[in-house]
Structure formats: structure tokens, C-alpha cells
Structure 1
């Protein structure tokens, strides 16, 4: 849906012949015992230097200064709200500094509901692991996180390419720009499918203003008969509105209402001209 993603190489250290073991490894973990277990496992795996932190502010400062080759972070090391708990991941992934924005990030959690896993994935984590962490499984996932993957930058996502399966193995309902280029689906249907996927994602987050944005987009894409630059412009308006809501903490009250109402007015005018 919308413009094609901007893709960069993933893992800044991989191009210089280094591995994650050659760079500092950051462990963000508040619980002393778990921090010791993680540190011991990483040392046994060959990590040369391990830096620990017990809050996100400290972790972010270390990432900026030490440029780690891997980050192991507890889901809620600092805060209770899940969106705030992912703030470290989002701030790293959305950074303009290419020296660290693509660092592999492994998120750990006591819980692993589907909603949490998908939220973490959409924030840009490389791997998600449930505690307690069996040593073998933990190191396997760390190595998988370190495997270079394309780094994708879109309006609402920055991080390692989330696609794990080849196109033929994925649900054919959810098509991407590449599928349009290959002739598997036309541009309008691809936009509609992406809209349906977006609606599922937003319903999971539970933001009433964001839900109105998805309803507005679905209404528009259902009404049009083709997908060109004008239609793509409307799609990007909706994506920009979602970014504005997300950046302001899913803006509640009058701020969020103003964002959504302005968008709905634009869509109403566009539909009236069809």
C-alpha cells in the first residue's frame, strides 16, 4: 500500500567482516539473576564484551556511544505500557544515524501473547523470546537475529524485513508492491488487501481514532475503480495520519479527533468528485 519501501543493507558491522561477537553486546535487563544468566550465555557463545543496563534511557545512551553488535532487551525493563515499552526499539529503528539504527534487537518477555509478538515485530525487533530462556534456543535465535536481512524503511515501519516465507507460501490475500510488479495482483486489489491487513493491526491496538482512519481508507478504496497517483495520495494521507496519532501517543481527546476529522473531510470531498 503506497510507495515502495526503501531498502538498505542490514547489520552495519557485517559489511566490514565483523560479527556480532566482535562488537559490544548490550543487555537491558532489570532482574539481576536473569542479567547474569544472559551474560553467561553470551560469554559462552564468544561475545567479547558485554555491557548491561537496567533502564531504557541508559540503554539508548550506550547504543549511541558504543555501537553494539547486538541488543538483548527485556520487554518491560522500564515501563508498564506496551507501547512505551517498545519506545527504545522504535527510537533506534527510526534514527537518522545509520551507525546503529539497524542493530539486531532481541526482545525477551515473561509473556508471549500473539498481540505482544506482533506488536514487537511491527516495532522492528529482530527476534522475540519468551522467558525462561533455554540456553540453546536463546543462542540459536541470537544468531538468527544477527543474520543480515534487508533493512526496510516505510511510513509506519523501520526495521529488518519481516517477511520470513517466500511469496508463494504466504496468504495470497496480503500482497505487497513486489506482487504487483510480478503481475500476481493489480494495484487496486493490492491496496485493498493492505488496507484489510492494516485494519486487523489497528483493531489489535484498540485506538478508536486509528480505527476511524482504517474505516475511512476502506471506504475510499471500496469506492474507487482504479489505483493511480491520486489514489496513492489518499493512501499516504491515511498513513501520515496514523503516524501522527502514533507519535503523539495515539492522541486522545481533541487532538486525535481533529486529525481524524480533517482526514474524513478530505475523503468526503474526494469521493464527491468521483
Structure 2
């Protein structure tokens, strides 16, 4: 959809010759038995410094003070409170501090429906592990999370690159988005690619469950359905919708009228733009 995306080299501690065992490992787990299991498994695997956090406040303090090289976090929330359970991950990934922003995060959870996994992935985790867990699976996920990966920071996502395959040596000269590459290769026209991306965005927004965000995705779908071409002017509207979703995310704790104003303003812009089309 033409979004401005920066993919930076993953500032991974392995570039210094360290492994995850050489750096502090943060274990954020609310259950005492599970804490002992995870911490004991990591210690037996060679972890030198294990930091325990029993609540989100302790976890935040440890991340900022100790700069862990690996985070194992418990997803506290369930189907009805998934945002609260993922707030630690979102705070880490949304930080401006590169010292811990891209730390590998293994999320453990008792909830593992497809929607749960997709929500966790979209929040920026490195690996997902369902409870009850085995020591073998735990260490496998930790080792996988520790593998160097590029860090992606875009309008609505910050986290490790989801593409597991190595990128082509000339990747720095290629588009970041597959849809953009398909357009340049002539496999699809720009408008169809934008519409497909819009449909994918609608599915993602529906998972989130925010009614205001859903209105944003409906507005974008309405606009892209009405236009007959996709150029800089249309891309500007797409970026407005992305920016609106970011504003909604940042204002979740604000008065509902703030979010309503964001959506109403966006819909008015779209209405006026379509009148001029």
C-alpha cells in the first residue's frame, strides 16, 4: 500500500560474539511453578544471569535497567483482554531506545487459537510457545528467537522481520513489500495491490476488536473501491488511514471523544476527496 517503511539492520548482541546465555535473561511469569520451571531450564541450558519479574512493573524496570538479551514473557490476557496481556511487548517494540527495542521476545500463553497467535505476532514477538510447555520446546524457541533477524519498523508494526528466509544479496535495492515488488514486475496493477492490502488490513483490524479502528478500515475500503487508479494522491489517503490507526492506538486511554474525532475527521476528508474525484 505504499507505506513508508524502514528496515534497519537488527542490532543484535550476537554481533559482539555473545550468545543469549551471556546476557541477562528476563523471565516475566505470574505463576510461581512456571517461573521455577522456566528459570531452572534456562539455568541448566547455561544462562548466566536470570532476572525474575512477577508483574509488569517489575518487568519494565528490569528491561530499562538490565538491558536483557532475551525476554520470556507470559501473556496474561485471554480472549477478552488480549491487549492488556500484550502491553509489555508493545511497549518494548514501540520504544525509541534501540538498546532494548529489538530484544528477542518469546511469548508463552495458555491461549493458542489462530487469532491469538496472529495478535501476538502483530504485536512484535519473536516466538510463540503454548502452555503447558516442555523444556525441549522452550529451549528450541529460545534458540530460534536468538537467531539474528532484521528489525522492521513501520507505521503500524515494529518487530523482527517475519520473513524467515535469507534475503537476496541485492535486497537493499529491492522493494520492501512483496506487493510493491509484484507491481514493479507487472504481475498486478497498483490499485489492485492497494485493494488487496486493504482487505488484509481489515482482517487485522477485525482481530483487534476496536469499533473505531473498524470504521477506519471501512472508510479505506470505500475509498479504494470508488477510485479508478492509484497514484500519489490515492497513496496520500492510504497513509492518512494508517496514521489514523496509529492515533487510535495511542489514544486508547483517552476520552472516547478523542478517538471519535479522529475517525470523523478522516471520514470527512475521504468524503470531500471523493466529491472532487
Scaled by the length of structure 2, the TM-score of the pair is 0.90
> What pairs with 1:73-88 in structure 2 (closer than 5 Å)?
73-76=73-76, 81-88=81-88
Q: Which residue of 2 aligns with 1:9?
A: 9
Report the 3-state secondary structure (helix = DSSP H, G, I; strand = E; otherwise coil) of the residue aligned with 2:129: strand
How far off its partner does 1:237 sit? 0.5
1:170 match: none
User: Offset at 1:254?
Assistant: 2.4
**Alpha-carbon distance change, 114 to 89 in structure 1, aligned in 2, over 3 angstroms:** same
* C-alpha displacement of 1:38: 0.3
Superposition pairs of residues 98-247 of structure 1, within 5 angstroms:
98-164=98-164, 175-247=178-250
* C-alpha distance in structure 2 between counterparts of 1:114 and 1:71, whole Å: 23
1: CA distance, partners of 2:264 / 2:14: 46
Match of 1:249 in 2: 252
Task: Structure 2: give runs of 5+ residues left out of the alignment.
Answer: 168-176
Counterparts in 2 of 1:178 and 1:68: CA distance versus 1, 3 Å: farther
Q: How does 1:13-92 map to 2 (within 5 A)?
A: 13-76=13-76, 81-92=81-92
Higher mean Cα deviation, 99-108 or 187-196? 187-196
**Structure 1 stretches of 5 or more lacking a match?**
168-173
Q: How many residues are treated as equivalent by the alignment?
A: 266
3-state SS, counterpart of residue 51 of structure 2 = strand
Shift of 1:62: 0.9
Partners of 1:196 and 1:166 in 2: CA distance: 28
Q: Deviations over 1:9-53 (max 9, x none)?
A: 225312212111110000001111111100111112211111100
Which has the higher mean CA deviation after the structures are superposed, 199-208 or 118-127?
Answer: 199-208
Larger CA deviation: 215-224 vs 178-187: 178-187
Structure 1 SS opposite 2:261: helix
* Equivalent residue, structure 1, for 2:266: 263
Rounded to whole Å, the distance in 1 between the matches of 2:106 and 2:232 is 38
Cα pair distance change 1:60/1:176, threshold 3 Å: farther
Change in Cα spacing, 1:54 to 1:92, as seen in structure 2 (3 Å) is: same
**Secondary structure in structure 1 of the residue aligned to 2:68:** coil
Q: How far did 1:54 drift? A: 0.7
| SS state at 1:176 partner | helix
Flag the 1:97–1:190 CA change in 2: closer, same or farther, 3 A.
same
Change (3 A) 1:48 1:96: same
Which range moves more in the overlay, 24-33 or 3-12?
A: 3-12
Does the aligned pair in 1 maintain the 2:11–2:98 contact within 8 Å? no
Q: Determine the C-alpha separation between the residues in 1 that align with 2:234 and 2:243.
A: 14
State how far apart, in whole Å, the 2-side matches of 1:179 and 1:4 are: 17
Q: CA–CA distance in 1 between the matches of 2:71 and 2:128?
A: 12
With normalisation by structure 1, the TM-score equals: 0.91
